[in-house]
Structures are given as structure tokens and as C-alpha cells.
Structure 1
Amino acid sequence: MIDRTRLATLRKIEDERFITSHPKSGELFEKAKESMPGGVPMSWMSKWPGAYPIFVEEAKGAGFVDVDGNTYIDFCLGDTGSMTGHSPEATITAIREQVGRGLSVMLPSKDAAIVSAELATRFNLPLWQFTVSATDANRHVIRYSRLITGKSKIIIIDRCYHGSVDETFATLDKKGKTVAREGNIGAPVALDQTTRVVAFNDLSAMKKALEKDDVAAILMEPAMTNVGIVLPQDGYLKGVEKLANQYGAMLIVDETHTISVGPGGMTAELGLEPDFLTIGKAIGGGFPTGAFGMKASIATAISKLVELEVIDTGGIGGTLAANALSLAAMKATLSKVLTKENFERMIKLGNRWADGVEKTINKYQLGWTVNRLGARAEYMFAASAPITGRQAADSGDFELEQFIHLRMLNDGFLITPFHNMALISPDTTIADVDSHTNAFEKMCGDLVG
């Protein structure tokens, strides 16, 4: 549908527009290259479109300002880290107050019990532990799953993402064999030694992967969000739950992104009963933190297998885990920002954003589709919604994505850099959403000519 020559011409216009609008970012980028590889503090920041990443001066609420004074409506929101909006007042007030009372002392604070009780209520898992990130939470529950079951393999979903966990950077090759995913850096062992990969929404493949009775855990998002939004089919998640119980594998649900559907994520929404649940990012209002919950029976099993004398050398936790500052941030965020009332408003605006995009796609007969996940929505370059991660990946168009992201950035809108996903915060307004719809429609009109 898209004329590639026209696309290249439009991209050149946006490249020039970017350079003209971001001279100070360009100067900072050149200086940054002297002390940071690629001029960025994290390598993946190089993936932002344009000649260089823009440098942020200040972020607040649903927007931010760059060093050149350009203002943006932020629909990326730190890829969920700032789903609360940037620097929500309740969270930063709690952080300011806690800073003067201690940051990290390797002892519990009063907030720990309050936050864990709140998470227990939301997700219906009674017992909780805290980490520095959701990645850490995933690593820890994988270790616990192997300890409890005595089994070694981990099942993950094809094209999933669970942070920088070694076992999860696997995919299926054309013959259906588990192999390292493209771009996987420095894998310690061949991935088929630790991992078995299955496609999302495929219960027969899940059953087959479990039949060798060597699987310690199934780690999955209840809806895929890092290869584009892929929604579970009716009965799929409960089917996985049943198979995990049948074959004695721990079911780990990663709600880090899918909390966008409501206060208790998809676990509460669909009445799921995982053995472990992991989460991070948004529950700290953008402050680094993570947590994992578990059934009481799991905690009992762990306590019987871990000796107090060596409890600090098992690869679980870290000296900064459960620090007082992160717990203060979580307490304020959960009680005053990620509330039922805010979720209702965010989800309503998420649907408004999706409706606007969908209307434009239909107007220009682009043959794309829009998926929705509460306060999160995404358009994909496929005529119908993918049901597996592979289908979602195959619908990608990097050249087109790079143009769209750059064009929207130049127009004052930031969307998630890895695909075409938007997220709504409590501070996002109807005007923000409608402004995006208008800009998106004009861009699509330019694309089709």
C-alpha cells in the first residue's frame, strides 16, 4: 500500500526537519560520544529515529520539554515506567519526605508491610518480596521454581520479553527448534539447554512442551506487549494454568505491562491463579523497583528448602532490594495514583486514542489493525490482529515505523520506540488524544498521497 519512493522522500523531509529543530540535542550528542558508546547511556537508546536521540530537559505529567525548548505529548511514558505520568505529585512528595529519613539500610521499613498488603489485595496472592526491577523479580522466581520442582527447563512464549533474563532471549527457528533470538548478546549457554519456546495461544504446543516432565516454570505475559499487542484467545490462559498444574510446573505471570487493564492487571480482570506474579516499573511511579508475589504454599515450600545460614548466597535479592525509598514510592503510587478512578479515565482515553487511529486507517484503506489493552493501544501493519508473537513480528515494517516515529516526534508526540504503541497516563487529556488523532490523520494522508 505504501509507495517506497514516496516514503523515502517523506523521510528525508523529516530528517531535515529534525536537525533544524534539535540543534542543542545535536551538540550534546556529539559531546556525549566522547564518554558513552554511541553517545547514549544505554545502547538501545540508539534506536530512536532521527540523527540522534533528543535530550530531555524536564518531564512532568503527560509531557516533557527537550533542551531545545520543544514540547511533546508523551504516549511512550517510559515504556510503562511512567504510566503514572511523569513525577506524580503524591509519589515525589513521598520520595522527598523519605530522602531525609534514609535511603537504604538493609532493614524493613513500615511501608513494606503496607505495600505488600496492597499488592496482595490487588492480585490475590498473599505473600510478596521486593526487588530493584521486574527483571530481577523474574530471575528470582525462575530460581525458586527450579528449587521447588527440581526441574531445569523454563517455557517462554515466542517473541516474548521479560527484561534481561538469559532464559528468555530464545525463539523458534523455521524447524520449530529453540534457538537464540536475533540480537542476543553473549548468551552463556545454548538456549535450548535452559529454555523451551512455544507460540502464544497454542495450547497443544504448550502441552507438548510440558510432556517431558522437565519444566520448572512457564513464564509469560497474559497478553503479549513487546512485539506489538497480542491478545489471548478465549480459554487460553486458563488452559495454560490447567496444564501447569497437571505437569507440576510453576506458572509465572508477568504483569509489568498488562497492569494497563486495571488496578490488578489481567490477573484480577480474568481471575487468574498463578503460582508467582512479577511486576515493576509503574508501581513505583517511575522510580526503579520490582516485586513478586506467591501463593502461601509456594512460600512454605521455599522455607523448607532454604537454610537460614546460607539464605544470603542463593542468588535471590541484592543489597538495594526493598530499599526504603522505593517502598515509599510504591506506597504513594499505589494508594494515590494507580487508583480505580484513574484507571477508568485512562482506559476511556485509551479507547478514544484507538478509535481515532482506527478511523484514520479505515479512511485511507491502509489495511492495518488496532489492538487495545486497557490504557494501552497499538496499530500494527497487518489486516487482522495477530494471535502469535511470530505473526506480530512478521507484520513489522522497520522502515515505515522509523518514518512514523520520526514524523510524530517532529509533530510533538512520542510513542514507544520499538513499535507503534501508545499509553495513557492519569494526566493525559482529551485534547492530547485528539491532537494526536489529527496529526496521525495528516501523516497518513501524506503517506498515501
Structure 2
Amino acid sequence: MSLTTPARGGRPVLDPARLAFLTAQEEQRFLADRPRSRALLERARAHMPGGVPMGWMTAMHGHAPIFAAEGDGAWFTDIDGHRYLDMNQADLSMNVGFGPPAVVAAVADRMRRGSQFMLPTEDAVWCAEALAERWDLPYWQFTLSASGANAEIIRLARHASGRDKILMFDGKYHGHIEDSLVIMADGKVKPELHGLTPDHAAHARMVPFNDLNAVERALKPRDVALCIVEPALTNVGVVLPDEGFHAGLRELTGHYGTFLALDETHTQIASPGGLKQLWQLEADAVGLGKTIGGGVPIGAYGLSEVLAQPLKTPPSMPGAPMESVGGVATGGTLYGNALSLAACRAALSQVLTPQGFARTAALGTQLADGLAGLFAAASLDWQVHRLTSRSGFTFADHLPRNAAEARALAQPALYRLLRLWMANREVWESVATAGPTVSFAMAEAEVAFYLERMRDFLADIL
């Protein structure tokens, strides 16, 4: 392979002509080997825009979507019969693996006995108690996604504080809700996507991750209701906090009267109580989703006594019509349903155990050490992320400290080649904004299989 050194960052990259050639070669093989997926996609376009039931399915992978048939443990199979080791796990919503027996049994039993009542079940009590112990927050509520959980945390913080501004960090992802779908562009906070009004952006502030001086400037007007943060950024690869960052953030939010929420949607895979427990972090609220449902849609959020008070004693809304449920704007018809809570209980008690987390963390170390060894053997200076069971790498000799650095170090075209190459050789690689993750269904053999494929990939391109 010819290595060139571009001006940006002085980082060696694959020669553009060879990169284009290899990508075209892999894409041609990818499409040719999946005729049933291609045919079904064409059929689907008649009644689903883009041929998919949700737009992300065409946007996230950098190639045409495939149609899944079934999954088993750490692997899934498409309708053309290709089997894949799943390193993406549906953006961690399937981190427990496909078809964990305890969850399958609990869901089947709950379906037979009724899946939804708009009434609490004993499983809800059990799950709330378990989450309270793990995340050290006394009160819990349930939604259908982490997006819903974060939306309700924001509303409760606004009510309790009497303020309207929200502080977030560049590179975040806190769900598909208006309040968090904002970005920094040209020095201003703007809507992230079409279809959003500027109004929500006007109530948001954004600062770089790991920049406590910027945090203090944003909080000084004392109009910020909530600061919401991922303990480590996970939507631009992995960006770890500087030593003392979270302690400083807690101190500043407390000083300026701002509530602090941890979005552990992705980082909950680090320990039974996420990074909050592992790093002994303090917060007024925690948002969860994905993994704790064992593959069934769920969201959950934990609250301090102060933030839970409006739910314990709902405030009245003078002039509200009789059909209004009153109180702070929370809830939904399917929120806290019996099926989701049965799955959550089974996942927490049988899969997401302390022993399970210790095992996936050890496998994550095996993965990270293996990647580092492969890069060194290939004379590449790429650096490896380490976040217990989640790994990944940066195409540079240093790890980023914030989202801007992560974007500058990214090589999307090279990562697209990697995904296609891996898919053609039985690995469903993580999306470019994430990083390969060990699931609870994996063992040493799966990690070794992935590392073998990465070794072969490097040999092929080099």
C-alpha cells in the first residue's frame, strides 16, 4: 500500500486511488452476494421511503441495507444466509445478545398473561428497586426509550428550577427529541436536522467536552435548568473525560443551582451501575434505555428526591381542561408496560449481573489489547479506545479530548471500506460513530474471531 501524509494532522492514510479501488471491489462483492436483500429492498420502496421502516437503516451503515432473518447469541443471519458476528448490537440495544433464554421465557410468559394494562405490575417494583440500588438514586420512572427518559428529565428539571435553558456538550446524543437535536454551527446553537424549529435551539447551550471554563461561562447567567452529559462521549467514537472533569462539573452545577443528569444509555454497559457506579459520580438524574430491556423497547430514568417531588405531589395547572392528566408533562400510554418490565427484570437479574459485567470487561480488555497489538505489528500509530467492554480506535497517534478533535481525526472513507470488508467476511462492524463492543453473548472465541478478521483486513490494505 502507498501511504501518503496529508496536510491535515500529518496522519498517514491509504492512498486515495487504492482506497477507492478497494471500496468499489468490496461493494460490488457485497451487493452481488445478497440478491434476496436487493430484491426485497426494491419491493419495499413501493410502500416505505428508501425501502426501510425507519430512515436510519439507510443512513448509518455507509452501504445498502440488508434484511435480517434471525439472530442467535452473538451472531445474526440475513435473508441471503450470511452470518455475522455482531459488533454493533443494534447500537447496543442488543448488548445482551440475541434470544437470551431468561428474557425469552419472561417475555413469552408475560405475553400469555397479558402484556399491557396501563397499571403497574410487581415487575415494575422489582426493577425500580434494582435500579435504585445500582445507580444510587431513589426514584424511578419508565418510558419506551432513552429519548423519552431524557425528555422527561428535562421537563422535571425545568419545573423544579423555574429555568428554561439546557446545557449540553458538543458531540452528544441524548435522543431524538427537540430539546437535544441541536448542534454548534458558526458559533451558534442551531437545529441539527430539518423539520425542527429554531425555538428549541434558543433554549440550549453547548460547550466542548472536557472544558470546565466553558461550562462555567455557560452557567454564570444562572438560567440553566439542567446540564445533561454522557460520562464519556460515545457518538463520536469514544472520548474519555479528563481527570477531575466530572468532579468539577458537579461542583459547578451545584454552585450555580443547575441540576446535573447523566445519560448512561451507552455507558451503562460498563458496570451494573454504569459509569456512575464505576467512577463514583454524583448526579441528580440518570437516563437509561436499550440494554436494560434485553431487546425489548424500554427507557428508564432515576431521580433525586427534589426532582421526584413533582411526581409525588403533582402541581395543579389552573385552567387545564378536565381531560388533562395534570402535573409535569410525563408519561405515555405504553410507558411502564408489563411486557417491557418483565423483560427488564429478566435481563437485570439473569444477564446483566456483576459476574456478567466482569466477564465482558475482561473480554473488552482482550479486544483492546488485541487491536493495539495488531496496529503496532502493522507499524500503524492508531490509538485504541478503552471503555470496559467497548473498544474502537482513532486513526492517529493520540486520542481526542472533545468532539471537534474526534471529527478532525476521523477517516470516514477508510471506515466505510472497513465495514464493507468486514461484512463480506462474517463481521457486522460497529457504525463509524461508535466502536466495536463485546456483548454479553460473546466469549473469547468471538473476540479472537474479530481480531483475526482485523488482522486480515490490515494485511489486505497494507
TM-score by length of 2: 0.93
Does residue 93 of the first structure (1) align with residue 77 of the second (2)?
A: no
- The farther-off stretch of 20-29 and 303-312 is 303-312
Does residue 296 of the first structure (1) align with residue 308 of the second (2)?
A: no
Give the structure 2 partner of residue 233 of structure 1: 242
Alignment of structure 1 residues 111-126 onto 2, 5 Å? 111-126=123-138
Query: Does the CA-based 8 Å contact 2:310-2:328 persist in structure 1?
Result: no
Look up the equivalent residue of 1:282 and give its one-letter code.
T
Look up the equivalent residue of 1:32 and give its one-letter code.
A
Give the structure 2 partner of residue 340 of structure 1: 354
Query: Secondary structure, in 3 states, of the residue corresponding to 2:439?
Result: coil
Look up the equivalent residue of 1:423 and give its one-letter code.
T
Does residue 391 of the first structure (1) align with residue 401 of the second (2)?
A: no
Query: Does the CA-based 8 Å contact 2:156-2:310 persist in structure 1?
Result: no
Query: Does the CA-based 8 Å contact 1:179-1:190 persist in structure 2?
Result: no
Q: Give the distance between the partners of 2:298 and 2:234, measured in 1 at CA.
A: 20
Q: CA RMSD in A?
A: 1.6
Give the structure 2 partner of residue 351 of structure 1: 365
Q: Give the distance between the partners of 1:109 and 1:322, measured in 2 at CA.
A: 9
Query: Does the CA-based 8 Å contact 1:49-1:406 persist in structure 2?
Result: no
Query: Does the CA-based 8 Å contact 1:62-1:85 persist in structure 2?
Result: yes
Q: How far 1:158 sits from its partner (Å)? A: 0.3
Q: Give the distance between the partners of 1:53 and 1:45, measured in 2 at CA.
A: 6
Query: Secondary structure, in 3 states, of the residue corresponding to 1:167?
Result: coil
Q: How far 1:171 sits from its partner (Å)? A: 2.6
Give the structure 1 partner of residue 333 of structure 2: 319
Q: Give the distance between the partners of 1:293 and 1:420, measured in 2 at CA.
A: 25
Q: Give the distance between the partners of 2:163 and 2:62, measured in 1 at CA.
A: 47
Give the structure 2 partner of residue 446 of structure 1: 460
Unaligned runs of 5+ in 1: none
Q: Give the distance between the partners of 1:322 and 1:383, measured in 2 at CA.
A: 46
Query: Secondary structure, in 3 states, of the residue corresponding to 2:226?
Result: strand
Query: Does the CA-based 8 Å contact 1:401-1:420 persist in structure 2?
Result: no
Query: Does the CA-based 8 Å contact 2:157-2:226 persist in structure 1?
Result: yes
Does residue 193 of the first structure (1) align with residue 186 of the second (2)?
A: no
Quick one: percent identity of the two aligned structures? 37
Q: Give the distance between the partners of 1:115 and 1:234, measured in 2 at CA.
A: 33
Q: Give the distance between the partners of 1:263 and 1:27, measured in 2 at CA.
A: 43
Query: Secondary structure, in 3 states, of the residue corresponding to 2:25?
Result: helix
2:143 to 131, 136, 139: 131
- CA distance change for structure 1 residues 157 and 49 in 2, over 3 Å: closer, same or farther? closer
- The farther-off stretch of 185-194 and 74-83 is 185-194
Alignment of structure 1 residues 405-416 onto 2, 5 Å? 405-416=419-430
More helix by share: 1
Q: How far 1:185 sits from its partner (Å)? A: 2.2
Query: Does the CA-based 8 Å contact 1:153-1:194 persist in structure 2?
Result: yes
Give the structure 1 partner of residue 344 of structure 2: 330
Give the structure 2 partner of residue 265 of structure 1: 274
Q: Deviations over 1:372-426 (max 9, x none)?
A: 1111111122320101011112222221111111111111111222335111112
TM-score by length of 1: 0.96
Q: How far 1:363 sits from its partner (Å)? A: 2.0
Q: How far 1:59 sits from its partner (Å)? A: 0.7
Look up the equivalent residue of 1:367 and give its one-letter code.
D
Residues matched between the structures, number: 445
Look up the equivalent residue of 1:16 and give its one-letter code.
Q
Query: Does the CA-based 8 Å contact 1:61-1:428 persist in structure 2?
Result: yes
Query: Does the CA-based 8 Å contact 2:189-2:202 persist in structure 1?
Result: no
Q: Give the distance between the partners of 2:71 and 2:232, measured in 1 at CA.
A: 29
Q: Give the distance between the partners of 1:177 and 1:34, measured in 2 at CA.
A: 40
2:44 to 32, 53, 58: 32
Query: Secondary structure, in 3 states, of the residue corresponding to 1:234?
Result: coil
Query: Does the CA-based 8 Å contact 1:158-1:197 persist in structure 2?
Result: yes
Unaligned runs of 5+ in 2: 1-11
Give the structure 2 partner of residue 59 of structure 1: 71
Q: Give the distance between the partners of 1:81 and 1:88, measured in 2 at CA.
A: 13
Does residue 7 of the first structure (1) align with residue 3 of the second (2)?
A: no
Q: How far 1:190 sits from its partner (Å)? A: 4.6
Look up the equivalent residue of 1:396 and give its one-letter code.
A
Query: Does the CA-based 8 Å contact 1:342-1:426 persist in structure 2?
Result: yes
Give the structure 2 partner of residue 177 of structure 1: 188
2:254 to 230, 245, 255: 245
